[in-house]
Structure formats: structure tokens, C-alpha cells
């Protein structure tokens, strides 16, 4: 193959549309990348037009982060473009080698700057991916391959409506749907690339391009590791399903990333070092203030000497000062000039600082040492000793060890045992007892499960679900339900007021509070705004920042989509399910001190350190369930119910006239005294808060109830496994 004016050296890359060769341009004696369109495609007018348009577009875009072209031509049916040769390879190669967070930010800023130039000129790239990002000798990133770029405002697109253009792994939801798109689609693709740079993994995995496209449309992206949490908000905005919720321009993204760099937000590789970095910073501040205090003290001492030298030098006067401090202080005040007194008052803030620092140091010595250094989990033997009540582990005979094997699906999912020190390996030998398992895998919902290990239960099968479950051919995340049998109970606080209430019909209630995964799917499907997660993460955390009206909108959509009958529970149904067949103030009993490890609230449920500095929602199911198998009925988030809260008889009041609704269960912001099974507040139905969510109730048709009752007539009474498991975990006698 020969191109006039060029000597082709070797092939360096090949794609579906063209082949790139390393060549020498004779006229100026420089090394170039010569992109030659494949001869077979030359007969296709569409591909021929795209090849020509790439050269025309790049010719209009002069920017350090956009590849420049030197020449364009056609020879013997071969279309070619001569452009700069970039010797340092592609971003795809660098990702395989590993990229630091700082490098990822720098590369993202560079490509965003290229997109800003292209968008300002009226062009969108439509194929942002690591293979199209190359590097110069100085390490600067360069955006290449504008082969499928188009004019943003053009109605005469190169592709027809409904045609999917782009690389499935990196395309935006609107591209995957074949809908009109603009520069914000490029920013979504850049967000996918940023995620891959930070984690080394592709955003979504699937067996086909179609399945990947569906994930881009419906599935929420996985969260970044905790040490990269400083970038989570930016990534969430880049990867928003709705273009209106993304960065609207590349300039906005650049400014946000530059702010992170300017403020030197450390992307630590291990979070546990953060407290020590914090203490180091405090130490530096105290050191600086100590120098300042020393300097000012000397100045004040010199000033006092000038006021009354004989008085200062006199030993006899010094004795008088000690014996009669009030009179001497009055004399000094009367002899010091007014401007000196003013200066002295201004320096009194230094003494206040010393007092504050002393209190902080004393507080850390009193409380903080334990918070920092006593969080290590017990060993399996220590856990066994705690469960059996034998505290002298040195004299305990070796308990019978049982091999534990967890069989996760997918097979290579990660398995952790959260409540002991030992690392899980298949067949690990442990004393019989209760263990808290965590199973996780990218693209799947992390599952935490309490198990009771014994000789009959040593092999555990746990299947993870993809972020969205599937029903009737549609990708739809559905709440997991628990059957609650009809019955009677005393509703309210027995010590003050309450009444006997009968729940006449069985019902299902969601085992967990409705999550972001479940609500976000609804929001995307109905083009509603996604609720703010306060920067705590979405996924399996309970939905927050939604009103009573928002909750009912979700339920109405769920009813239409599934054909089932969902609704919010009444206050009575909620309390009946929350009690878990108990008569106490909490599902675990009446002792507030037992709340720790059972629920998420601010004061009384965790250490003083966590109550001040780790005050946020937790993933649903992170704490044990009540006897009915229902999680998080105390704390985490408070929950909307269907009852009016501003009427004396809620059941007799039409819902349409309610101004406020009953909210039950308390939240992560509550005191332990305010998360009882009968705790209730009233809140305006049209407003939302970051500590209120909801769970759903599914009604059971009457025919189903009759059938279930007839089938249960001759069945033996069911063991309460949840109570047995709970008692074993917490060593309580009920």
C-alpha cells in the first residue's frame, strides 16, 4: 500500500472503520499516524461521509487535548487522514497497568476540556471510551476518533431515530434508547470512563451488548470504594440517568474537579488512617498556636515590666501579690495605659484557645482512645465464650469445631464474617454459634445475613441478586415481603395510654425499608427527579428525602406495574408488624441499653464517637430482625404510614383532608427513647426529610386467605426461628 508523500512504516492500530499506520510525511520529515479507511467501506456512502466528516470536524477544533490533523486526501480509492502520532499508548492500556486517583482526575479534566471545545463549536463526540484517549510524551491526554461525531443542533443526523450509535459499555441511557442526545451524553460516557479509571473495572457487566444497554437505562451504578468517597458526588452527577440531573456543561465538571485538586482532598488508600491524619492536623494547629502564645506572653511580660519595674522586681511586693491578688490587680489596671489594656484584652483569646485544646486532649484521653483502638472484632473462640457465658477463655476447653462452607452465587463472590476476627476461607473451622455473613460481588446487591452454625447447618447456599430483579420479562426491583398473620395486640404505651387492637386479615409487609434501588427505578421510569442521598450512597440504603405523596406515587406505579395491591400500612398494622409478637417497648425488650448492635439511632444505640461523627442511614438489613423477620422497625429511617396525624380519629377521617401523616419508628437522628414500637410524630405530607422513608404493605386477596387457612388447619405450630436466632446472638433469656 502506497500513499503519495508518505512512507508507511508499520500498522499500529485497526478498527471496524479504518486502519492506522505509523508513517513518515516526506514534505516536513515528521512521523505521523496515517488513518486509512478500509477499501470495502469506501463503497458505502454513509461510512465514506463519516470519514470525511471526521476530518472536517477535527479541522475546526483546535485544542491541546484534541488530536490535530496535518493532511487529508484520497488516492486510488483510499481515503486517508494524516494526524499527530501519539507514542504513549491509549488509556485502555494505562487502566490495565493501574491509575492513581490523582491521575484519573487529571485525565478527566483534560478530556472534559476537549469536550468543552467540541461542544462550544456545536459538535458531540458520541464515542468517548478509553481506546479513543491517547497520550503524548508529556503524559497529556488527547481525544481522538470523531468518526461518529455529529452536530448537536442538527436535525438531519447521520443516524435515524431509534438507531443506537456508540460503544455499549460507555453509551448514555438516551443513546442506548436511540433517543436524541446532546453534549451531556458525552459527559455520561466520560463518567463511565472515570469509574473505570478509579476502580479498574467496567461500570456494568453482562453477556450481551443489549443487556449492557439495559443496565445503562435502568440499573444504578455501583458505589466507589470508601477511600474514593470524595469523588462519589461528582460521579453520581455524571452518571445520572436523566440528562437534566447531570453536569450541564463540561466547564461545570472541570470547575468541580479543579476544586477538589485546589482543596487537596486526599483520596486515601486506607480509611482507617483518617483519624490519625486528623489528629496530626490538630497537632500542627496546636503547635502554631503554642508559638504564637509564647511570643505574645513575652510581649505582655515586657509590657508589664515597663509599667512598674520596681513593683515587678520587688520580692516583698510579689509576696503581697500572692496574699492580696485582688488589690494588686486593681492597682495594675489603674496604672496601665488604656491602649495597653485593650491590647491585653485582645490577647485573651489565646488563653481561651489553650483551654479548648486542653479540654480536647483531656476528652480524647478519657474517651477517644477506646474509640480509636478498641474496635477489633473478637476471635471465634472469644465469640463462642461470650455466647456460652464463659468469660475466662484461658480455661475453656476447646469447643467442637464445625467446618463452615458458604456457596455463593456467583461463585467468586467475596465472603466475609463480620463479627469475628478470622478471615473466611471455604471450610473454615469455627465453634458452633451465630455469625454475621457479608457476600458481595460487583453488579450485584450486597447481602448480609445472620446464620446459626451447627452440625446440620454447615454448608450455606446464598444467591446474590443483580441490582434489579426480573419479573414478567421486565427489569423491576421488587420489595422482599414477609407474611404477617392476623391477630390482636395492645397498641400504644401501656404506661400512659393505649388500646387493644385486632388485625383481622393476614397481610404481607416489606422485610426492609424501600431502598434507593427500588425507588430510583420507579423515578427513572416515570421521569421523576431522583431524591438526594445526602452523599451517603444509594443502592441498598433506605430511600430518604421523599414526601408522603412521593411514597404513594411509587406505590400507585407499583400496583399498575405488577397488578398487585400495595399500600402504606396503617399505624396499627405498622406497630403490629414492628412489635414482632412482643409486648415490650422495643422488639428486643424494655432495656434501652440493649439497643446497641440492634438498631441505628443517634443517642443510646452507638458509641459517643459514632453518634457525633457517623450519623447517617445504614444499608437495610444491617441489624437483626424482630421475631416476624422484619428489619429496621426501630431507627435507621422513620416511616410514613397511611394514617392522619392531625385528627382525633384517623380511621374516620378521609385521607384527602389530612394535613399531616403519622410517621413511626424513629430514625438515625433519634434518641433511643424515641424509637419504641409506639413512637410517633406528625409530619406534613407534602414535605420531605432526610430521616423519613417508608415500607409497603401488600394486601392478600380474601380467596387466598381462605385457602391458606384451610391448608394450615392440620399443620403443626411453626417454630419462631427469628426469636431463637436473636436470643442466641445476644445471649438473652426471654
Q: What is the DSSP string of 330-349?
A: HHHHHHS-HHHHHHHHHTHH
More confident residue, 376 or 241: 241
Q: What is the pLDDT of residue 264?
A: 45
Return left, alpha or beta for 434; rule: phi > 0 is left, psi -120 to 50 is alpha, else beta: beta
Name the CA radius of gyration of the chain, rounded. 34
3-state SS, residue 43: helix
Residue 447's H or E segment, with its range, is strand 447-453
Q: What is the pLDDT of residue 295?
A: 65
CATH topology of domain 475-730: 3.90.1580
Task: Decide if domain 380-463 falls under CATH 2.40.40.
Answer: no
What pLDDT band is residue 171 in, cutting at 50, 70 and 90? confident
pLDDT at 348 over 70: no
**What mean pLDDT, rounded, does the chain reach?**
76
Residues 6+ apart with CB under 8 A from 348: none
What pLDDT band is residue 709 in, cutting at 50, 70 and 90? low
The residue ranges of every structural domain in the chain are: 6-84, 91-262, 273-373, 380-463, 475-730
Per-residue pLDDT tens digits for 238-274: 999 999 989 999 999 998 888 775 444 445 443 444 4
According to DSSP, residue 444 is labeled: B
| Beta strands at 78-84 and 141-143: parallel, antiparallel or unpaired | unpaired
pLDDT at 152 over 80: no
Q: What is the pLDDT of residue 268?
A: 45
**Mean pLDDT across 107-126:** 88
Q: Are 227 and 267 in contact (CB under 8 A)?
A: yes
Architecture of domain 6-84: 2-Layer Sandwich (3.30)
| Beta strands at 78-84 and 428-431: parallel, antiparallel or unpaired | unpaired
What pLDDT band is residue 219 in, cutting at 50, 70 and 90? confident
> Please, which residues bridge with residue 428 across strands?
404
Which three three-digit cell numbers place residue 132? 479513543
Residue 658: phi, psi to the nearest 5?
-75, 130
% of the chain exceeding 70 in pLDDT: 68
Which three three-digit cell numbers place residue 591? 432495656
Range name among 75-84, 126-135, 261-270 with the lowest pLDDT average: 261-270
What does the DSSP assignment read for 585-606?
SBTTBS-GGGGTTT-B-SBSSS
**Mean pLDDT across 129-134:** 91
3-state SS, residue 252: helix
Whether cis (ω within 30° of 0) applies to the bond prior to 410 is: yes
Q: What is the pLDDT of residue 542?
A: 95
Contacts of 726-733 with C-beta under 8 Å, sequence gap 24+, read 726/588, 726/624, 726/625, 726/626, 726/627, 728/387, 728/433, 728/434, 728/452, 729/434, 729/450, 729/624, 730/588, 730/594, 730/597, 730/598, 730/624, 731/386, 731/387, 731/389, 732/588, 732/589, 732/594
Per-residue pLDDT tens digits for 476-529: 788 999 999 999 999 998 777 788 999 999 999 999 999 998 998 898 888 888
pLDDT at 573 over 60: yes
| Beta strands at 474-475 and 69-75: parallel, antiparallel or unpaired | unpaired
What's this model's pTM, rounded to 2 decimal places?
0.43
Out of 1.10.8.420, 1.10.260.40, 1.10.3720.10, 1.10.510.10, select the CATH number for domain 91-262. 1.10.510.10
Amino acid at each position: 500500500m502506497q500513499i503519495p508523500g508518505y512512507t508507511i512504516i508499520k500498522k499500529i492500530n485497526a478498527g471496524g472503520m479504518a486502519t492506522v499506520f505509523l508513517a513518515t510525511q516526506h514534505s516536513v520529515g515528521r512521523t505521523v499516524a496515517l488513518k486509512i479507511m478500509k477499501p470495502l467501506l469506501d463503497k458505502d456512502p454513509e461510512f465514506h461521509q463519516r470519514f470525511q466528516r471526521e476530518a472536517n470536524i477535527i479541522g475546526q477544533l483546535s485544542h491541546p487535548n484534541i488530536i490535530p490533523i496535518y493532511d487529508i486526501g484520497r488516492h486510488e480509492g483510499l481515503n486517508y487522514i494524516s494526524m499527530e502520532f501519539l507514542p504513549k499508548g491509549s488509556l485502555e492500556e494505562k487502566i490495565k497497568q493501574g491509575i492513581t486517583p490523582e491521575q484519573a482526575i487529571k485525565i478527566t479534566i483534560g478530556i472534559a476540556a476537549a469536550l468543552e471545545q467540541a461542544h462550544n463549536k456545536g459538535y458531540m463526540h458520541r464515542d468517548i471510551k478509553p481506546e479513543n484517549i491517547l497520550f503524548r510524551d508529556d503524559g497529556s491526554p488527547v481525544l481522538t476518533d470523531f468518526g461518529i461525531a455529529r452536530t448537536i443542533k442538527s436535525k438531519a443526523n447521520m443516524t435515524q431515530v431509534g438507531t443506537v450509535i456508540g460503544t455499549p459499555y460507555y453509551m448514555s441511557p438516551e443513546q442506548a434508547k436511540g433517543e436524541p442526545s446532546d453534549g451531556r451524553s458525552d459527559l455520561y460516557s466520560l463518567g463511565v470512563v472515570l469509574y473505570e479509571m478509579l476502580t479498574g473495572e467496567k461500570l456494568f457487566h453482562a453477556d450481551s451488548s443489549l443487556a449492557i444497554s439495559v443496565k445503562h437505562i435502568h440499573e444504578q451504578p455501583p458505589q466507589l470504594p470508601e477511600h474514593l468517597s470524595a469523588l462519589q458526588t461528582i460521579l453520581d452527577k455524571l452518571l445520572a440517568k436523566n440528562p437534566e440531573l447531570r453536569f450541564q456543561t463540561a466547564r461545570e465538571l472541570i470547575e468541580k474537579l479543579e476544586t477538589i485538586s485546589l482543596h487537596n482532598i486526599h483520596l486515601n488508600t486506607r480509611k482507617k488512617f483518617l483519624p490519625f491524619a486528623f489528629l496530626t492536623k490538630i497537632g500542627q494547629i496546636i503547635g502554631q498556636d503554642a508559638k504564637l502564645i509564647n511570643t505574645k506572653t513575652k510581649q505582655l511580660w515586657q509590657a508589664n515590666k515597663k509599667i512598674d519595674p520596681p513593683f515587678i522586681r520587688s520580692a516583698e511586693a510579689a509576696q503581697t501579690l500572692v496574699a492580696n491578688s485582688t488589690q494588686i490587680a486593681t492597682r495594675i489596671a489603674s496604672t496601665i495605659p488604656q491602649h495597653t489594656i485593650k491590647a491585653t484584652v485582645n490577647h485573651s483569646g489565646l488563653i481561651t484557645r489553650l483551654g479548648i485544646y486542653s479540654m480536647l486532649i483531656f476528652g480524647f484521653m478519657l474517651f477517644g482512645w477506646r474509640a480509636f483502638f478498641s474496635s477489633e472484632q473478637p476471635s471465634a473462640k472469644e465469640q463462642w465464650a461470650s455466647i456460652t457465658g464463659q468469660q475466662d477463655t484461658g480455661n475453656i476447653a476447646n469447643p467442637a469445631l464445625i467446618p463452615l462452607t458458604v456457596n455463593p452465587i456467583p461463585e467468586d463472590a467475596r465472603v466475609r464474617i463480620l463479627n469475628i476476627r478470622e478471615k473466611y476461607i471455604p471450610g473454615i473451622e469455627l465453634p458452633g454459634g451465630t455469625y454475621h455473613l457479608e457476600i458481595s460481588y460487583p453488579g450485584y446487591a450486597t447481602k448480609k445475613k445472620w446464620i446459626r452454625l451447627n452440625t446440620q447447618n454447615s454448608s450455606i447456599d446464598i444467591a446474590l441478586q443483580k441490582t434489579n430483579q426480573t419479573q414478567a420479562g421486565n427489569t423491576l426491583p421488587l420489595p422482599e415481603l414477609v407474611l404477617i398473620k392476623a391477630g390482636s395486640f395492645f397498641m400504644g404505651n401501656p404506661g400512659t395510654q393505649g388500646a387493644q387492637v385486632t388485625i383481622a386479615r393476614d397481610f404481607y409487609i416489606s422485610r426492609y425499608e424501600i431502598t434507593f434501588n427500588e425507588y430510583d427505578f420507579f423515578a427513572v421510569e416515570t421521569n421523576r427527579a431522583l431524591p438526594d442521598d445526602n452523599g451517603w450512597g444509594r443502592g441498598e440504603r433506605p430511600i430518604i428525602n421523599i414526601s408522603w405523596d412521593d411514597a404513594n406515587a411509587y406505590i400507585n406505579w407499583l400496583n399498575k406495574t405488577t397488578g398487585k395491591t400495595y399500600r402504606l400500612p396503617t399505624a396499627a398494622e405498622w406497630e403490629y408488624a414492628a412489635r414482632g409478637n412482643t409486648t415490650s417497648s422495643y422488639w428486643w425488650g424494655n432495656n434501652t441499653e440493649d439497643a446497641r448492635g440492634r438498631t441505628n439511632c443517634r443517642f443510646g444505640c452507638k458509641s459517643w464517637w459514632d453518634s457525633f461523627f457517623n450519623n447517617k442511614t445504614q444499608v437495610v438489613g444491617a441489624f437483626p430482625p424482630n421475631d416476624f423477620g422484619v428489619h429496621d422497625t426501630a431507627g435507621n429511617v422513620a416511616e410514613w404510614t397511611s394514617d392522619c396525624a392531625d385528627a382525633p380519629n384517623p380511621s374516620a377521617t378521609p385521607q384527602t383532608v389530612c394535613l399531616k401523616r403519622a410517621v413511626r419508628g424513629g430514625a438515625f437522628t433519634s434518641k433511643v427513647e424515641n424509637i419504641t414500637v409506639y413512637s410517633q410524630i406528625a409530619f406534613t405530607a407534602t414535605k420531605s426529610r432526610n430521616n423519613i422513608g417508608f415500607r409497603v404493605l401488600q394486601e392478600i386477596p380474601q380467596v387466598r386467605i381462605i385457602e391458606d387457612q384451610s391448608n394450615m388447619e392440620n399443620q403443626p405450630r411453626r417454630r419462631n426461628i427469628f426469636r431463637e436466632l436473636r436470643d442466641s446472638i445476644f445471649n438473652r433469656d426471654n
